[in-house]
Every structure is written in C-alpha cells, then in structure tokens.
Structure 1
Amino acid sequence: MGAPVVHFEVIGKDGKKLHDFYSKLFDWKIDANNPIQYGLVTAEQGGIGGGIGAAQPGQSGYVTFYVQVKDPDEHLKKVTALGGKVVMPTTVIPGMVTFALFSDPEGHMIGLVKEEQQ
C-alpha cells in the first residue's frame, strides 16, 4: 500500500480571499483563528484535512489536488461565478474517471473528480 494523502495546502498571495473562495465553492469549514491566519480545513466524510494560507514574502503560491464531487459541471459553473476559470471542461475517460480542471482566482490549477455511483 502506498503512502496515503493526509493533508493538502493552497498557498497564495491573499490567504483570506482563498479561504472565502474554497469555503463557498465546497462548503468547507475553514478555521484561520491563529496567529498566522493559516486556514485549517476540517476533514469530513472520509476526506482529508488541509490548510489554506498566504505565501511568505517572495514565495510563489503552489498547489494541485483533486476534489471528489457529484457533478463537476455544476461546480465549474460555481467556479466561474466565484472568479475562477475553467482549464479543462468535464472529460470522461470511459471505464476510468470523469474529471475537470479549473484555476482559482490566483491561478492555482485544481481538479474535480466525479463521485462514483454506488
């Protein structure tokens, strides 16, 4: 068994703006009540927790991860409404995965993966 993903980070120029974007897009609970305003994302429903914050002076932002959703197309609509951009529309690879890519307001590329039918 490979090492599991247990944390993610989204770091950019404006941590507060990113907190707002992701909390509205995915209904994430983000707690940035700490001295460095690093937003801790609560792990829910078998997911992983993570962090969202501001880059240090002179540091570039960074991140790439995939989020499982019921309907990638609906989330892409929310992405554009919240100031993000569609990088790749929902794409189906038969027998494997349905996914899409977008960039947040600061240009970080993020993936959406369609939840599998149970």
Structure 2
Amino acid sequence: MHNVLLQQGIRELRRSYPEATVAYADYFGAYVRMLERAREMGFDGAALTNACCGAGGGKYNFEMERMCGAGGTAVCARPEERISWDGVHLTQRAYSVMAELLYHKGFASPAPVRFPHQ
C-alpha cells in the first residue's frame, strides 16, 4: 500500500511541478531482484543473508553488540561473493550491482543520470 500511495504522490508532484524532475528509485525492489538472482549475479547463494564481516555465526552472522571491527568479529574470505558486508551495509560489489539495477535495469524512473552502457 505504501508504494501505491508513494507513486500517486509522485504523479501529483510531477503534475504540480512540470519543470522539475521528480525521480523514483525502487531500492527495495532492486534489492529483492538481487536476492532472487543472486547466483546468476555471482553471489554465494548459500550465504545470502550472512554478513561477510561480523560475529555470531548462524543465519545472519550478525550481533548488534559486536559489529564489524569489534573484538571477536571476522571477515569472510571472498567478500565479492556476499551481498551483506556487516548486516547493515552492502558489500562493495553488491552496491555496484545495486547501481546497475537502479541506473540501467529500470528500477529508477526516470533514471536520475543517463550513463552510456559499457
């Protein structure tokens, strides 16, 4: 329901301010796409929710009391294969994939900046 109302608000803003560019970026949708297609994007499908840098093991390798860099935390061997860096932030590679989704794969409308495809 939130996104439906947000889209309605964006349409109203665009009508009210035709000289302005009002852009919408669906970060959550892009993140879900990354999770759904993680393996084909080169991420470790067995560790989708596991933080690369953290403590606690388990499903998330995340403990709020022991964030990345605190005593007892460790960093995974191949961060480029992980989506989550520390349970809060994405890895550098995941941010790169996120940017690709937002700028080139239709998760932003209109695309905030037009980059030439490489």
Instruction: Give the shorter-chain TM-score range.
Output: under 0.3
Q: Which has the higher helix share?
A: 2
Q: Which has the higher strand share?
A: 1
Q: TM-score, normalized by length of structure 2?
A: 0.24
Q: TM-score, normalized by length of structure 1?
A: 0.24
Bigger-Rg structure (1/2)? 2
